[in-house]
Each structure stands twice: as C-alpha cells, then as structure tokens.
Amino acid sequence: MEIKEIKIEELDTSDFIEKQVRQLRSAVGDGFAVNALSGGVDSSVVTMLGHKALGSKLKTYFIENGLMRKDEANQIKSWFNELGVEIEILDAKDRFLSALKGLTDPEEKREAITQTFYKDVFGDLVKQSGAKHLLQGTIYTDVEETIAGIKRQHNILEQLGINTEEKFGYTVLEPLIQIRKPGVRKVGEALGLPGIMYSRPPFPGPALATRIIGEITPEKIETVRLATSIVEEELSHTVAFQYLAILHDDKVTGLRDGRRDYGYQIEVRCWDSNDATTGKPTRLSFDILEKISERITIEVPGVVSVTYNIATKPPSTIEAV
Ligand code: XMP
C-alpha cells in the first residue's frame, strides 16, 4: 500500500483527528484494541487519539522492557492517569534481555526486539484478552527509513510484507503514518496533551538498546541509563531536537587516582533537526560539554572517556544502533 505523506502545511489537525477517530471506530467495531505507550511523543499522541476514538474499548500498556530511562514507567503512568487514561505496566524485562543476550549486530538486535514485542509480548496479550487490533504510533519517517534500508525501525511490519494477522494474530492500526514528528506534535496539542508531553524530545521504541553498541547486558544498560539522565538534565534547557548518550563497546585506558583504569567510553550526541530525516550537531558551548563530561566521569561508574559527535546526518544517524 502506497502511503501518501500529509505535509505540515497541509495538516488541518481537527479534520485529521476527526477522520482518524472515524477510521479507528470503524476498524475496531464491536471488538477492542490494545496499545503500548512508551511515553515518547508518537505513542503518547496515539494513546490519546485511541482513547478519544475507542474509550474503554482500548486498553493501554506500558511495556517495561528493562531498556527504559530512569523512573520512566511510573512517570508516564502518572501523567496519563492525570489525563484520565488508565495504564497497566507489564513487566517483560526478562523476555527482552534474554532475546538480546549474545547479539551484537545492530539489525539482529532490532529484529530480536521486534519479535519479542510483537510476537511474544503482544501475541500473548491479544490471545489472553481477545483483542483483534494493536494501535501504534508509526510515523512517516519510520516507514521512509526502513524502506530506504537505512535502519529497520522496530515498528515497521506491513511495509516489509509481514502479515501481522497471520504471524501474530492481530491487525495493526497506524493513524499517524502519514505525518512526521512536527505534525504529530501539532495533533498532540490539538488533542489536549500538555506541552511537556507533546514537545518531549523523541525517544526510540527500542529505547536504550539503540544506544548500546555491541552486546546488551544489565551493566551496560545501567551505565547508559545514568549517562542519559545526566545528558538530559544538562541539555533540557536547549532547543535541540534530540540529545542522547551512547555507550561504546570498546574500552579505553584511563587514569584514576594515579592508577590505570580501563573503562567505558560515552559518546554524547545533540541534534538540530526538524523531523529527524537530516540533522546537524548542535553547537554547544565548551562549558556545557565540559560540565557533561565531568559529571559523567564522576557519576557514572566505570566511564573514563566522553566524546561529542560532530558528524551530520547523513552520513551519521541520530541513534547509534
Ligand atoms: P535514526 O537513528 O534512524 O533515527 O536517525 C531517526 C529518529 O527515529 C528514532 N528512532 C526510532 N524510533 N523505533 C522508533 O520508534 C526505532 O526503531 C527507532 N530508531 C530510531 C530516533 O530516536 C530519531 O528520532
């Protein structure tokens, strides 16, 4: 199926919402649907849209995959509870970590996350609940990057010829698929989401797994999680599109308390971009970079080196994996 992009200049949010609500109601009919909320902009907007269209016929889960940021699950649950949307936190940490064990290749890691998410976790959920539909916040850029072969975004299925009905037992509904991130933010605002939610920097579905080079282990997740929270604290005042910390696989020789310390390297990235299709590194001041480096090397155990990525996208991409 050819997907026609709705450009930001053409997007009339009330028409768009009305049309998507109508389509979701007609697709789900008398049945009901499930969706996963990660707290990223796309899944938050799709959750609100879905609840507007389907009310109690939609059940929303926060999948705790063990790869999320610090305190993310409870934070997101409480934001949505305040908006009147019930969220169930589903603990799937062990399933994701065991699927990722031993994998180092980026596309194999992405595939393991896709399979765990769609086949294992949601496959079981729909079997138990009888839901026939999974609602998700795929956006136009996700499709474009996957089709172009740049990165297989975790949420692309039908466009890769995967029949979800046959493989997993449910149909995927993607009401945001014709718009890009700036459009999604406009729709979120029109749906009454607070600014703090629709203007959050993007966060990928496979979460911190896209920021760990090489094998993913509980220790590495904790390292990148701590570094992420420092980078986010230090850069949240900027107007950058997205900022993140990446954990390299190779260790390097460092020096601590007069002794050799063979430790981890963290790469900081901060992007100026409109819609993630292309990006430029933000020209951060050296004072900010020094503060980030100092905090990471002091507060994150085992890190002896911090670098700042100065390459553009392309040829870089926003995440590392
Ligand atoms: P890249 O790394 O491809 O990222 O330049 C472009 C934008 O997409 C986000 N991203 C993902 N989002 N599933 C998602 O939902 C994914 O598998 C995924 N990979 C990257 C990334 O954070 C950036 O905003």
Atom of ligand 1 nearest to the CA of 203: 22
pLDDT number for residue 159: 80
Of 217, 210, 235, 247, the C-alpha closest to 107 is 210
pLDDT of residue 26: 98
Work out the mean pLDDT of the chain and round it to a whole number.
Answer: 95
Question: Which CATH architecture group holds 212-308?
Answer: 2-Layer Sandwich (3.30)
Nearest alpha carbon, ligand 1 atom 6: 276
Give the separation between CA 302 and CA 108, rounded to whole angstroms. Answer: 27
**pLDDT classification of 213: cutoffs 50, 70, 90:** very high
Q: 241-278: per-residue pLDDT in tens?
A: 999 999 999 999 999 999 999 999 999 999 999 989 99
Instruction: Specify the higher pLDDT residue, 176 or 150.
Output: 176
Distance 100 CA to ligand 1 centre (A): 18
Q: For residue 153, how far is its CA from the centre of ligand 1 (angstroms)? A: 7
Compute the distance from residue 3 Cα to the ligand 1 centre, in Å.
19
3-state class (DSSP) for residue 267 = strand
Count other Cβ atoms within 10 Å, centred on residue 148: 8
Write down the pTM of the prediction: 0.90
Q: Which tens digit of pLDDT belongs to each residue from 97-121?
A: 999 999 999 999 999 999 999 999 9
279 CB near ligand 1 (under 6 Å):
no
DSSP state of 66: S
Is residue 216 packed enough to be buried (19+ CB in 10 Å), middle (13-18) or exposed (0-12)?
buried
Per-residue pLDDT tens for 30-56?
Answer: 999 999 999 999 999 999 999 999 999
Q: What percent of the chain has pLDDT over 70?
A: 100
CA triplet 190, 193, 194: central angle to 5 degrees?
120
Residue 212, φ and ψ in degrees, nearest 5: -120, 115
How much is the pLDDT for 1?
Answer: 60
Ligand 1 in reach of 210 Cβ (< 6 A): yes
68, 115, 151: residue to mutate for ligand 1 pocket, most atoms within 8 A of CB:
151
Does the Cβ of 202 fall within 6 Å of ligand 1? yes
| Cα(127)–Cα(220) distance, integer angstroms | 34
User: Domain boundaries in the chain?
Assistant: 8-198, 212-308
Q: How far is the CA of 205 from the centre of ligand 1 (A)?
A: 8
Regarding the beta carbon of 153 and ligand 1, being less than 6 Å apart is answered yes
Which mutation among 38, 69, 136, 142 tests ligand 1's pocket best, with the greatest number of atoms within 8 A of CB? Answer: 142
pLDDT of residue 153: 82
- Overall CATH class of domain 8-198: alpha beta
